[in-house]
């Protein structure tokens, strides 16, 4: 026996609820739910957290107290209408609820873990959206405010909780509840708030209520609870997002560290399908599919490329244990990769927490940007052995567990956090590979789709010798002349159209007494059948107006191990027609101007397109 109870409260409307109305797919709910499971398993002294994810279809009448839920919804709408507050924003939040209630069957998403479970005081905490009651320096996500992120996946804004836990005498106890979030509403006896809870019976003292929770589970949850000794099931009713590879990528991109180190085992159960293990092999596959994505999207912390780099660092990188002055021991995985986007990644309790630019540390950001070391990925793990740093990181985390926030800690603690990160960054530097000063970096680039004026970005170097050979920048594409009557349009004279270069990986050039050897990789994105590609290399001069560039003469050029003819105009090499999406390896020697001497400079490659003449076609 139980009932759906809404306690006394203000007449709040169908307003946005922090985290609950954050429509960004699975990223935030996955972080919160799995982190809670990891913490609960650790509190139960289990080395491996086992999470089973179920996606099932249930009848609407299987939802606990669905009839009472619908009555409260109508009362909430009526109250809002009477108060003239049932506006478009409120209606937008009600529409998906009404649409779901018209269906006979609804999807439910359930997360089941083998953790320590929840006692009554913990159940009270998650239903008030209050402060975390989870203890321990290693705890991560907090039931409470962060728990609301699960509601973003529920079209009904209704989530259930079932748990088994051991009491102080070691006896296993069961508790069940659920909580819909609707709007404040007026009943005959009182004004009630927007959040309900499933209880055994209405409390005697409503002004200062004490709640008792049922001990029986709904039929669709009971089989999951029967499989665990202790643990928790969170059920999201009326699943509003498809469960697909994007949902599974949200798991592996945030928890690859825990999966690789065996702290987290995940199995996905879908109706009429065999269970799917999200193991190391599946993690590698899902992350591999995203490794060319260069921007973090939505609520993602890292781009697909950097997630891939971080996974490789954890699996194959150099493993270091760094001891700070306060005796905190930090585990760091470092992998040098000349094609990497330099990155520093923060892991806590097996979960990705933040990247270099969201760690409240200028030193970590500078570490990532330093030009003294080869490109690298550093994965910092503060799970064990670092009690002070771990406590400060936890205190600074956002509710989404995706960055460290300023002004959350008191000023002294924030300074302490920054001091520890500074010390850690200096220790990490000792394990990085210095750049060979006889070799200088160039961007590895692609040819973009749109022709652009010659304003290619590249490394800048001050103090270049202006006595080096100067050539004027190629002219812009001329306007075609008006066609003579009866003769149709004339094709404009072929010209070079330079394009901005996009950084993709890395290339190198090496100083060789009197020459520079330049190694490039070129991958055209889009080519016209009439276009030939030309290559020039110039000094990347510090010239704001960029009216002139110091183009260098080629001595010899090879493309894919085939020699390319060096013409009389030695500063511009015709590579010919290149196929789009193909990779071309180019090794070119360019003459070093006498005036440069031993000065270290930056070089800038420029690709140009030139239309073939009709005869060439």
Q: What does the block give as tokens for 406?
A: 């300023």
Give a yes or no: residue 278 inside a domain. no
Place 528 in a pLDDT band, splitting at 50, 70 and 90: low
CATH code of the domain in which 188 resides: 3.30.565
Give a yes or no: residue 514 inside a domain. yes
Q: Which one of 405, 429, 453 terminates a domain?
A: 429
Give a yes or no: residue 434 inside a domain. no
Residue 52 near residue 269 (C-beta atoms within 8 A): yes
Q: What does the block give as tokens for 585?
A: 């390896």
**178 lies in the same domain as 112:** yes
Overall average pLDDT of the 482-501 stretch? 45
H-helix segments, 180-299: 222-226, 245-260, 280-288
Q: Look at the chain and count its residues.
A: 617
**487 lies in the same domain as 424:** no
3-state DSSP of 11-32: CCCCCCCCCCCCCCCCHHHHHH
How high is the pLDDT of residue 584? 86
**200 lies in the same domain as 232:** yes
**422 lies in the same domain as 444:** no
Place 610 in a pLDDT band, splitting at 50, 70 and 90: confident
Overall average pLDDT of the 444-455 stretch? 41
**379 lies in the same domain as 325:** yes
Task: Check residues 554 and 458 and name the one with the higher pLDDT.
Answer: 554
Q: Is 96 exposed, middle or buried (0-12, 13-18, 19+ CB in 10 A)?
A: middle
Place 467 in a pLDDT band, splitting at 50, 70 and 90: very low
Give a yes or no: residue 271 inside a domain. no
Give a yes or no: residue 281 inside a domain. no
563 strand-pairing partners = 558
**412 lies in the same domain as 451:** no
Give a yes or no: residue 296 inside a domain. no
Is a pLDDT exceeding 70 seen at residue 34? yes
Q: Which one of 195, 217, 243 terminates a domain?
A: 243
Mean of all residue pLDDT scores within the chain: 83
Which strand ranges, in their side-by-side order, compose the sheet holding 496-498? Answer: 496-498, 603-611, 531-539, 573-576
| DSSP code string of 544-609 | SS--EE-B--EEEEEETTEEE---SSTT-EEEE---TT--EEEEEEEEPPGGGTT----EEEEEEE
Q: At what angle do helices 362-369 and 411-429 cross, to 10 degrees?
A: 20
Separation between Cα atoms, residue 212 and residue 189, nearest integer Å: 22
CATH code of the domain in which 470 resides: 2.60.120
Is a pLDDT exceeding 60 seen at residue 370? yes
**149 lies in the same domain as 20:** yes
Query: How large a percentage of the chain has pLDDT more than 90?
Result: 56
**521 lies in the same domain as 406:** no
pLDDT by residue (tens digit) across 561-607? 999 999 888 888 988 888 877 888 899 999 988 877 766 677 888 88
How high is the pLDDT of residue 127? 87
Give a yes or no: residue 98 inside a domain. yes
Contacts of 341 (CB under 8 A, 6+ apart): 294, 303, 305, 306, 309, 375
Give how many domains the chain has, as a whole number.
3
**336 lies in the same domain as 382:** yes
3-state DSSP of 252-273: HHHHHHHHHCCCEEEEEEECCC
**E strands present in 27-134:** 49-59, 105-113
**512 lies in the same domain as 451:** yes
Q: Is 252 exposed, middle or buried (0-12, 13-18, 19+ CB in 10 A)?
A: buried
137 lies in which domain range? 3-243
Place 469 in a pLDDT band, splitting at 50, 70 and 90: very low
**456 lies in the same domain as 387:** no
How high is the pLDDT of residue 616? 59
Q: Which residue has tokens 């560290």?
A: 257
Give a yes or no: residue 372 inside a domain. yes
pLDDT by residue (tens digit) across 276-306? 999 999 999 999 999 999 888 888 999 999 9
Model-level pTM? 0.73
**382 lies in the same domain as 340:** yes
Q: Which one of 400, 429, 458 terminates a domain?
A: 429
Closest CA to 364 of 389, 399, 383: 389
Is a pLDDT exceeding 50 seen at residue 609? yes
């Amino acid at each position: 026996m139980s009932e759906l109870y809404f306690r006394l409260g203000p007449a709040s409307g169908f307003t946005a609820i922090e985290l609950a109305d954050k429509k960004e797919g699975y990223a935030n709910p996955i972080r919160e739910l799995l982190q809670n499971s990891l913490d609960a398993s650790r509190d139960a002294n289990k080395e491996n957290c086992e999470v089973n994810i179920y996606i099932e279809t249930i009848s609407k009448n299987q939802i606990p107290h669905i009839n009472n839920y619908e009555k409260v919804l109508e009362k909430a709408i009526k109250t809002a209408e009477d108060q003239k507050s049932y506006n478009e924003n409120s209606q937008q939040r009600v529409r998906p609820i009404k649409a779901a209630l018209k269906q006979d069957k609804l999807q439910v998403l359930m997360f089941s873990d083998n953790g320590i479970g929840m006692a009554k005081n913990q159940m009270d905490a998650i239903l008030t959206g209050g402060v975390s009651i989870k203890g321990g320096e290693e705890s991560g996500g907090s039931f409470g405010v962060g728990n609301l992120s699960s509601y973003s996946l529920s079209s009904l804004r209704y989530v259930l909780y079932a748990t088994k836990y051991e009491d102080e005498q070691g006896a296993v106890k069961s508790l069940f509840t659920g909580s819909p979030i609707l709007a404040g509403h007026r009943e005959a006896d009182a004004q009630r708030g927007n959040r309900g809870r499933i209880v055994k019976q209405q409390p005697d003292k409503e002004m200062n209520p004490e709640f008792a929770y049922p001990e029986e589970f709904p039929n669709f949850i009971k089989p999951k609870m029967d499989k665990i000794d202790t643990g928790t099931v969170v059920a999201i009713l009326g699943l509003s997002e498809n469960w697909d590879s994007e949902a599974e990528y949200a798991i592996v991109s945030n928890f690859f560290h825990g999966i690789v180190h065996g702290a987290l085992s995940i199995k996905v159960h879908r109706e009429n399908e065999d269970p799917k293990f999200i193991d190391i092999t599946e993690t590698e596959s899902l992350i591999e599919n995203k490794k060319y994505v260069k921007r973090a999207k939505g609520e993602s912390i890292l781009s697909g490329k950097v997630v891939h780099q971080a996974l490789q660092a954890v699996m194959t990188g150099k493993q270091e244990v760094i001891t700070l002055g306060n005796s905190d021991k930090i585990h760091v995985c470092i992998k040098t990769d000349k094609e990497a986007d330099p990155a520093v990644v923060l892991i806590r309790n097996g979960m990705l927490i933040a990247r270099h630019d969201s760690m409240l540390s200028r030193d970590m950001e500078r570490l990532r940007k330093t030009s003294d070391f080869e490109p690298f990925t550093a994965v910092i793990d503060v799970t064990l052995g670092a009690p002070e740093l771990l406590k400060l990181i936890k205190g600074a985390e956002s509710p989404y567990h995706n960055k460290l926030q300023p002004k959350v800690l008191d000023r002294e603690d924030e300074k302490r956090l920054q001091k520890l990160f500074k010390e850690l960054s200096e220790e990490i530097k000792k394990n990085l590979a210095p750049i060979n000063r006889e070799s200088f970096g160039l961007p590895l680039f692609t040819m973009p789709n749109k022709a652009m004026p010659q304003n290619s970005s590249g490394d800048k170097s001050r103090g270049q010798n202006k006595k080096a050979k100067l050539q004027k920048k190629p002219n812009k594409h001329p306007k075609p002349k008006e066609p003579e009557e009866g003769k149709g349009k004339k094709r404009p004279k072929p010209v070079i159209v330079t394009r901005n270069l996009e950084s993709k990986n890395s290339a190198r050039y090496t100083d060789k007494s009197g020459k520079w050897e330049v190694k490039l990789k070129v991958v055209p994105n889009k080519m016209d059948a009439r276009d030939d590609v030309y290559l020039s290399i110039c000094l990347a001069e510090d010239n704001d107006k960029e009216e002139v560039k110091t183009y260098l003469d080629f001595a010899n050029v090879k493309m894919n191990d085939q020699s390319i003819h060096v013409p009389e105009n030695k500063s511009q090499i015709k590579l010919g027609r290149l196929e789009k999406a193909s990779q071309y390896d180019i090794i070119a020697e360019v003459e070093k101007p006498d005036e440069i001497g031993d000065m270290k400079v930056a070089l800038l490659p420029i690709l140009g397109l030139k239309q073939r003449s009709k005869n060439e076609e």
